[in-house]
Amino acid sequence: VHTLAAVAPISFQRGLPAPECLPVDELAECARAAILEHGRTILNYGPAGGFAPLRERIAADYGVVAGRIFVTNGSLQALSLLAGVLVEPGARVLVEGPTYDRALHILARVGAQAVPIPVDDEGLDVEALERELSSPAAFLYTIPTFQNPSGNTTSLSRRRRLAELARERRILVLEDDPYRHVRFDGDDLPSLYELTGGEGVVHSSSFSKIVAPGIRVASLVAPEELVKKLEALAAQTYLAPSFVPQATIFEFLRRGHLDASLTRVRDALRPRRDAMLEALERELGDRAEWSRPQGGYFLWLDLRDDVDARELAPRAEAAGVAVIPGADFFPGGGAGTSSLRLAYSFVATDEIAEGVARLAAAIAAGAPRAAAV
Ligand SMILES: Cc1ncc(COP(=O)(O)O)c(C=O)c1O
């Protein structure tokens, strides 16, 4: 243990893009151009729903009117406002188990009862969903593509079934989709929004994972009446979003920088995903199972049932590798007790190998000893 005391820490905790993903020069130029061109508008207060040219551009991509687009300071803010508008205290909200931990915190804050529906390597278990739909729910929160935290993607057949169920049972679906374009292999799948023609599905998208999280620009497409309610709550909460980042992103898109940015992110993250899969095979091949994401920022590691991930996490951190215990991603910490979420998005590939080796050592150090003979 004493040899580990001085090691530089490696963190698999947070879904940050690797530093080389960030288009620093392009964003600097776009920000300057945006302020020079739109300064009188974007440096003032303005519409709570976002910078009009960006709304129009996003609306054109979806083929809807701009009044259906709501642009926020990051998609978590949109989720928070949506929860504020849609959830009465005590209402059920269906979520994936596991799901994004910050979404669970938001739901808890508005007094929702989050009901987990299992996720496997084909994504959301639609039969379990159907059973849960026998009682009313405010909405279903799902991350169908490269899910945070599992890395799993809901298959096309399950997406079709989910779209049918949403229509038949009239359940509103919030499709949180920040990772769709961070695909390393396999084919792009239609979103639930696309499969339903947008009927009953609110689709949330973000520039955080494909351009830069610090720019804090995300958008959702929703029915116009819902967007009006969100705008009213936004105006009460923060008057208006930050327009300089929105105008900067607008300029970034207008200059055609997005494709290069997507390629840069994929090229930066694919070898990291590969490095983590290889290291897991090498270090934990006979002791654990894990997801094999085709894209996104995270994977999910299932350890043997006798490993307590909440006990392991601080020991791993002391040994120089930080991870998040799986229970954090279930309502009330009710499952995932022998699992971990690992983010491969930030750490350099050689450090990924080292981090997984440290994790394996921490797991081995805590494993129950075989009975002495
Ligand atoms: C599923 C999901 N939704 C939302 C967010 C938050 O993104 P944003 O930076 O757009 O607020 C994240 C970030 O990790 C995420 O994984």
pTM surpassing 0.85?
yes
> Is the sign of the CA dihedral 159, 163, 166, 169 positive or negative?
negative
User: Which atom belonging to ligand 1 lies closest to the Cα atom of 213?
Assistant: 9
Is 74's C-beta closer than 6 angstroms to any atom of ligand 1?
yes
Are the CB atoms for 177 and 205 separated by under 8 Å?
yes
Q: Is the CB of 213 under 6 A from ligand 1?
A: yes
pLDDT for 214-271, tens place per residue?
A: 999 999 999 999 999 999 999 999 999 999 999 999 999 999 999 999 999 999 999 9
User: What pLDDT is stored for residue 367 in this prediction?
Assistant: 63
**339: region left, alpha or beta (phi > 0 left; psi from -120 to 50 alpha):** beta
What whole-number distance in Å separates Cα of residue 31 and Cα of residue 211? Answer: 14
CA nearest to 360, candidates 342, 348, 346: 342
Residue 5 phi/psi, 5-degree rounding, is -60, -30
Kindly state the tokens that stand for 268: 């930066």
For the segment 79-106, the average pLDDT, to the nearest whole number, is 98
Q: How far is the CA of 241 from the centre of ligand 1 (A)?
A: 17
pLDDT, residue 4, reads 52
Out of 96, 104, 202, 209, give the residue to mutate to test ligand 1, the one with the largest number of ligand atoms within 8 Å of its CB: 209
CA separation for the pair 200, 193 (Å, rounded) = 8
Candidate from 5-19, 87-101, 167-181, 274-288 with smallest mean pLDDT? 5-19
Q: Is the pLDDT at 3 greater than 60, yes or no?
A: no
% helix / strand / coil in the chain, to the nearest 5? 45, 15, 35
At residue 334 the predicted structure's pLDDT band, cuts being 50, 70 and 90, is confident
